[in-house]
Each structure stands twice: as C-alpha cells, then as structure tokens.
C-alpha cells in the first residue's frame, strides 16, 4: 500500500467515524474520470462547521498529521474564494499534503449534493461529479488543471452544459470554461 493510499484510508475512516460528509476532489477524482495521472496529494471538500475543526485536528494528529498552529488557532485559509485548511501527514520521513476545503459556499454544498460513489485506489469512495471537477479545475486555472479539464471533457462527454455554465457564471470563470469547451469541440 502506498503512503498516499494509507493516508487516504485513514482520513476516510476518520471522517466516516465522525459522520462527516465528504467528497474527494483533485487528482484522485480526475483519475476516475479521465486518463490516470500521478498525484501526490489529497483534496477533499467537507460538510463540517468550523466549530468541529478542533476535534478533527485532534483526531488527525493521532494519525501522524501535522496541523499548523494558525489553523489550530481558528484561522482558515482561502484559495480562489474557497475556504480550506492545509495539513500534512508524515509517513516514512516524507510529507503528504492534504487540503480540506470547507463546504461554506452554495457551490461547495452543491458539489456534496451531486457527489457519486466511484472506484478510487480500489475502494468505493465519494468523488465530485465530472461537471464539478471541470468547474474546480477551471477555477484553479493552472496549466495542469486545464489539461485535466480537457481530459475530463474528452472522456466524459456529454456533460451537463447548463449546469457548467450556471456555476461558471457564479464563480466568475465563464470565459475560461467557454475557452475549454471550444478547444474540446475543435479537437
């Protein structure tokens, strides 16, 4: 079992024990919808209020996770308008990054509502829908993310374009989405 898989297993078991609704986003979800690619981190969206974070941190620290002091003090980071906490789990002398996005926005709540069970690393786990993965990757906007968008569009077409366009407008990424859709159509 890889360090990433063991970290995934521990985190999912902990979330399920705590009755926390989760959805996997990021590279592991992309693997389920497109051409598999390497990933060295874990990304989750959680239906968890900030008041429950200290209990989560305590449980994670017992599993070799490092929780930076600012998060323990109540601070929450933000990336592209999405609230998150960044953790590391140390296994065999190396750190595995774990990003836990908090479902504070209506978009993130919709991601949780639309989640689906899929095979992830040989396990049935909750992952974001292909449409939500496209939106998250367009929002992130890095070159690797845009390649992931193209792969998902290629492997999962047809997608719900009305849903994609609605949330792209809400997230302010409608131009980037349309560019990705156009590039996909022209291939």
CA 149-151-156 angle, 5° bins: 95
What tokens does 63 get?
Answer: 């599993």
Q: In 41-142, which ranges are continuous DSSP H helix?
A: 53-61, 69-72, 106-114, 130-140
- Mean predicted confidence (pLDDT) in 60-85: 92
- Mean predicted confidence (pLDDT) in 46-71: 93
Q: What is the three-class DSSP state of 25?
A: strand
CATH of span 1-128: 3.30.460.40
Residue 1 banded pLDDT, cuts 50, 70, 90 = low
Percentage of the chain exceeding pLDDT 70: 98
Q: What is the three-class DSSP state of 38?
A: coil
- Give pLDDT tens digits for 103-119: 999 999 999 999 999 98
- C-alpha to C-alpha distance for 187 and 184, rounded to whole angstroms: 5
What residues does each domain of the chain span?
1-128, 130-187
- C-alpha to C-alpha distance for 107 and 158, rounded to whole angstroms: 21
């Amino acid at each position: 079992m890889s360090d990433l898989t063991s970290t995934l297993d521990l985190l999912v078991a902990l979330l399920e024990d705590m009755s926390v609704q989760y959805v996997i986003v990021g590279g592991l979800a992309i693997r389920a919808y497109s051409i598999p690619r390497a990933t060295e981190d874990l990304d989750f969206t959680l239906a968890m209020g900030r008041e429950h974070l200290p209990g989560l941190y305590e449980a994670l620290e017992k599993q070799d996770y490092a929780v930076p002091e600012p998060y323990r003090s109540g601070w929450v980071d933000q990336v592209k308008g999405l609230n998150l906490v960044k953790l590391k789990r140390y296994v065999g002398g190396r750190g595995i990054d774990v990003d836990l996005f908090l479902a504070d926005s209506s978009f993130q709540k919709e991601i949780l509502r639309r989640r689906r069970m899929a095979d992830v690393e040989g396990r049935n786990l909750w992952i974001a829908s292909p449409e939500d993965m496209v939106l998250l990757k367009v929002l992130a906007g890095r070159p690797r993310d845009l390649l992931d968008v193209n792969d998902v569009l290629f492997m999962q077409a047809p997608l719900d374009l009305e849903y994609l366009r609605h949330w792209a407008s809400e997230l302010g990424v409608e131009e980037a989405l349309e560019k990705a859709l156009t590039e996909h159509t022209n291939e």
